[in-house]
Amino acid sequence: MALTLRETAGGAVADPLVAEREWFSEHGVNFGLVQDGTVVQRPIPFDPIPRVIPRLEWARLQRGLLQRVLALDHFVRDVYDAQRILRAGRVPGSVVYGSPSFLRYASGPPARLAGQVCVAGIDLVRVAGEWLVLEDNLRVPSGMAYALAARRAMIDLHRDRTVEFGPRSLSDYARRLRQALQNRGPHDGLVVVLTPGPYNAAYYEHRELARLMNCRLVQSHELIASHRGCWLVEGKERHPVSTIYHRYSPEFLDPVGGAPNSLIGVPALLAAWRGGHVALANAPTCGVGDDKSVFPYVPEMIRYYLGEVPILEQPPTLDLSHPPHAAAAFDRFHDHVFKPVDGSGGKGIVFGPSAGEVDRAAVMATALTRPSALIAQPLLEIERLSCVGPDGDIEDRRCDLRPFVILGDDPWVVPGGLTRVAPDADSWLVNSSAGGGIKDTWVEA
Amino acid sequence: MARYEVSHRTLQRYREHVHRSRNEVRLKPIDSATQRALGSQIAVDPDAEIADSLDYYNNAVWMVAVETPHRELIIEVTSEVEVLPPLFEPRLDHPWDFDAMAFNPAAEYIASSPRVPRLRGLDSLLEELSVRAGDAASLMAANETLRDHFAYVPGATTVGTRLPEVLERRVGVCQDFAHVMLAVARQSGWPARYVSGYVVPRASETIGESHAWIEVGTPDGRWIGLDPTHGVAVRDGHIRVAVGRDYDDVAPVRGTFAGQLPGEPPEVSVVIRPLVGAGVGPATPAYVLSDQ
């Protein structure tokens, strides 16, 4: 792949990705990083060598993703209803009942409808040529706006290459999302995007999706709710809201039903939702489906609800509250990765090989006092893709892929998704909040 | 059989005019094996929009939405309840088979919950109370003797007091006693849930208060009421209002308001009047509670 290197007079290499950086900065494609307790917005690092996925490989992924998300949607509504899968003994009750993400105040008639999940983001990695699912994101799956930006950047900066390859288009995303949102709510009323505000790391995405869907971007103080509905307040006027695409962790949506000391959120929003007056996407029920302690049971959900064989594999997960599992994980500490069950963004993850004594002691202490707070997975040598390094040379970095699935009348898997890139050749973490970057994902047409 | 009229009044004062408020109210007794709910009415001042629904635990919930500026909010619930004689002796005997519990709905109530976390000190508390895992008699005995280990001191704690503090200070009110007993029951292998409600007063009294106790699930699907505050098993002296994993699931009035200043602590008054209805004999106290 030809890349222009810009050398300075002294022979030292200047920033080889200056054009990319400028493009992302100009377009405000930021992701916030926490520095000294405040969020600093900076352009997300972008690598111009796209990930390429062959047609047939994608066709299989697409089927596997759809199957997985449909099963998860069944699971979410079942555990807020008859809990058949628990009674049948296919998922232990303790896994659901002990999950802090099982929000009992989010039960009610709308919790029993198909389509609890509106958008899902499923994290995949390739290991020895085989795709594996590492994580399901159902509560606030984010990243699609970054994937759209990556495509636009490729078209602007590397037009010839992009046109020549002709990857499958992503441009239908906003229309399909808007349609799925609109179909979930009552006929009259606004579709709005609810953001926690500019201090949120992914604020760029919230603004961008609202812009692309041609709907209002609002914050919680602009909304009023009761069991009769939800309204957007503008001066003396109140406009009914039919669907909220929220970018909140669900426990913070409503301080009456949820976190009682929450300063954000819309009081009685869940009462409005329960009465069928406003749709929430994703539904506030969804967190239980992407809890890391529920993750090991997703293949079982596929067998139970759909009667199908899981298409996508996932690595075994060790439950540290189960003594033989804990022994297996600690006997071969260096071969495992330890993840907090309730974490996101790579927070609190400890990688066996790179763990210091302090990390190791902390993991052991947590495993002793709160064993169900951690899971362990075998450390996988995940696929590295070619990236442009700081000196302009090609280096291989670990990458994952987060494809997105929209559930609605016509379920749709976005062709491609967001490829996340580790910040350097040694790093294990690809999370944007850990300094990771992105690259475009080209699915062969 | 005895009928009662329960009137539960909550006065919430604010330090300023608040633009609007939203509260969830869990004060409506519902039918259960131990009682018949004969009807409840809710009155709110100022005028409010009110809707009822059932929550995850099948508790009755009123959503109370006030849209006009107000400095105080009065929520008064009046209910009639008939307390039924016990269907079975409130006693625990057969312990749970853990493999069977995994798939039983009761498993919900053995997991830790927000207000009753698994704490390291619990095993020593079990030891102190001579409670052995899966031993029904020792748990029943602990329910009677918890009062010897913890002091009932009104006002010593608040609705927000956490379990570690109660275990440390060894004081509390019925809510704290219930949380301690939940922790003891769950730690020793029994599913247990929190119950909010009232204790029926003696014949000569009408002033009452909210109360809380626990119910322990048995493998044959019964729930046995244990009231550690009074050191008794529940027969027919209790009126049930709501159940959940702990206090946070059944808080009688919980909500928020649009304003800047924190609200005052709510003032609550409860009056429980025995009713003499047609076909029902003179109400007598179901049993006399020992003095606190």
How confident is the model at residue B292, as a pLDDT? 30
Distance from CA of B2 to the nearest CA of A (A): 34
User: Is the Cα torsion angle A156, A158, A162, A164 positive or negative in sign?
Assistant: positive
- Whether the CB-CB separation of A389 and A398 falls below 8 Å is answered with no
Chain B's closest residue to A92, CA to CA, is B102
Q: In this predicted structure, which of A225-229, B32-36, B203-207 has the lowest mean pLDDT?
A: B203-207
Residue with tokens 């009046």: B78
Distance CA A327, CA A341 (A): 19
Report whether pLDDT(B24) > 70. Answer: yes
Q: What does the DSSP 8-state code read for residue A221?
A: G
Q: Which run of H or E residues covers position A339?
A: strand A336-340
Q: pLDDT tens digits, residue range B228-245? A: 999 999 998 999 999 999
Question: Which chain A residues are within 8 Å of B22, Cβ to Cβ?
Answer: 225-226, 256, 267-268, 271
Chain A and chain B share a number of CB contacts under 8 A equal to 78
Distance from CA of B104 to the nearest CA of A (A): 7
Q: Report the interhelical angle of B136-149 vs B174-187 (nearest 10°).
A: 150
- The pLDDT of A37-59, averaged and rounded, is 95
Question: Which chain A residues are within 8 Å of B258, Cβ to Cβ?
Answer: 267
Interface test with A, best of B54, B64, B108 (most A CBs within 10 A): B108
Q: pLDDT tens digits, residue range A310-367? A: 999 999 988 887 788 888 888 888 899 998 887 666 778 888 888 888 888 888 888 8
Question: Which chain A residues are within 8 Å of B24, Cβ to Cβ?
Answer: 256-257, 271
- The pLDDT of B134-152, averaged and rounded, is 96
Distance from CA of A41 to the nearest CA of B (A): 30
Share of chain A above pLDDT 70, in %: 95
Closest to A136 measured CA to CA, from A246, A296, A340, A306: A296
How confident is the model at residue A357, as a pLDDT? 85
Alpha helices by DSSP H, A144-172? 144-157, 159-165
How confident is the model at residue A402, as a pLDDT? 97
Distance from CA of A99 to the nearest CA of B (A): 9
Amino acid (1-letter code) at residue A48: P
Question: Which chain B residues are within 8 Å of A105, Cβ to Cβ?
Answer: 55-56
Closest to B159 measured CA to CA, from B254, B86, B241: B254
Would the CB atoms of B23 and A98 count as touching at under 8 Å? no
Q: Exposed, middle or buried: residue A315 (CB in 10 Å: 0-12, 13-18, 19+)? A: middle
Report whether pLDDT(B194) > 50. Answer: yes
Assess B102–A contact: CB distance below 8 Å, yes or no: yes
How confident is the model at residue A373, as a pLDDT? 82
Question: Which chain B residues are within 8 Å of A224, Cβ to Cβ?
Answer: 20
How confident is the model at residue A187, as a pLDDT? 86
How confident is the model at residue A79, as a pLDDT? 97
Residue with tokens 């009421």: B225
- Whether the CB-CB separation of A158 and A337 falls below 8 Å is answered with no
Residue with tokens 């890349």: A3
Encoding tokens for residue A215?
A: 């709907």
Report whether pLDDT(B175) > 50. Answer: yes
Distance from CA of A270 to the nearest CA of B (A): 11
Would the CB atoms of A256 and B255 count as touching at under 8 Å? yes
Q: Is A277 left (phi over 0), alpha (psi -120 to 50) or beta?
A: alpha
Chain B's closest residue to A264, CA to CA, is B256
Would the CB atoms of B102 and A89 count as touching at under 8 Å? yes
How confident is the model at residue A226, as a pLDDT? 95
Chain B's closest residue to A79, CA to CA, is B56
Would the CB atoms of A104 and B20 count as touching at under 8 Å? no
The complex scores an ipTM of 0.89
Q: Which of A86, A88, A268 sits opposite B65 (nearest CB)?
A: A268
Would the CB atoms of B55 and A105 count as touching at under 8 Å? yes
Q: Assign A13 a pLDDT band (cuts: 50, 70, 90).
A: low
Would the CB atoms of B108 and A256 count as touching at under 8 Å? no
Question: Which chain B residues are within 8 Å of A255, Cβ to Cβ?
Answer: 256
Q: pLDDT tens digits, residue range A290-310? A: 998 899 999 999 999 999 999
How confident is the model at residue A117, as a pLDDT? 98
Interface test with A, best of B52, B103, B243 (most A CBs within 10 A): B103
Distance from CA of B97 to the nearest CA of A (A): 15
Q: In this predicted structure, which of A263-272, B71-80, B132-141 has the lowest mean pLDDT?
A: A263-272
3-state secondary structure of B198: strand
Distance from CA of A184 to the nearest CA of B (A): 22
Interior angle at CA A260, CA A257 and CA A266, nearest 5:
60
How confident is the model at residue B288, as a pLDDT? 36
Question: What is the overall mean pLDDT for chain B?
Answer: 90
Indicate the pTM of the whole model: 0.92
Interior angle at CA B231, CA B229 and CA B232, nearest 5:
115
Distance CA A51, CA A60 (A): 17
- Whether the CB-CB separation of A330 and A364 falls below 8 Å is answered with yes
How confident is the model at residue B135, as a pLDDT? 95
How confident is the model at residue A262, as a pLDDT? 65
Assess B24–A contact: CB distance below 8 Å, yes or no: yes
Distance from CA of B271 to the nearest CA of A (A): 27
Would the CB atoms of B51 and A92 count as touching at under 8 Å? no
Q: pLDDT tens digits, residue range B270-289? A: 999 998 754 444 344 433 33
Q: Which residues contact B161 (CB under 8 A, 6 or more apart)?
A: B172, B176
How confident is the model at residue B79, as a pLDDT? 97
Instruction: List, in sequence order, every residue forming a beta bridge with A241; answer none if it has no partner.
Output: A190
Would the CB atoms of A104 and B57 count as touching at under 8 Å? yes
Distance from CA of B268 to the nearest CA of A (A): 20
- The pLDDT of A164-177, averaged and rounded, is 97
Would the CB atoms of B55 and A228 count as touching at under 8 Å? no
Would the CB atoms of A256 and B256 count as touching at under 8 Å? yes
How confident is the model at residue A413, as a pLDDT? 98
- Whether the CB-CB separation of A199 and A247 falls below 8 Å is answered with no
Assess B55–A contact: CB distance below 8 Å, yes or no: yes
Would the CB atoms of B55 and A107 count as touching at under 8 Å? yes
Q: Which of B24, B103, B105 sits opposite A257 (nearest CB)?
A: B24
Computed on alpha carbons and rounded to an integer, the radius of gyration of chain A in Å comes to 22
Would the CB atoms of A93 and B118 count as touching at under 8 Å? no
Report whether pLDDT(B290) > 50. Answer: no
Distance from CA of B82 to the nearest CA of A (A): 29
User: Is the Cα torsion angle B247, B250, B253, B254 positive or negative in sign?
Assistant: positive
Closest to A377 measured CA to CA, from A345, A339, A429: A339
Would the CB atoms of A97 and B108 count as touching at under 8 Å? yes
E-strand ranges in A84-180 read 119-127, 130-137
- Whether the CB-CB separation of A243 and A185 falls below 8 Å is answered with yes
Closest to A422 measured CA to CA, from A442, A396, A391, A392: A396
- The pLDDT of B181-190, averaged and rounded, is 96
- The pLDDT of A178-202, averaged and rounded, is 94
How confident is the model at residue A260, as a pLDDT? 64
Q: In this predicted structure, which of A53-62, A369-378, B157-166 has the lowest mean pLDDT?
A: A369-378
Q: Which of B55, B63, B105 sits opposite A268 (nearest CB)?
A: B63
Share of chain B above pLDDT 70, in %: 93
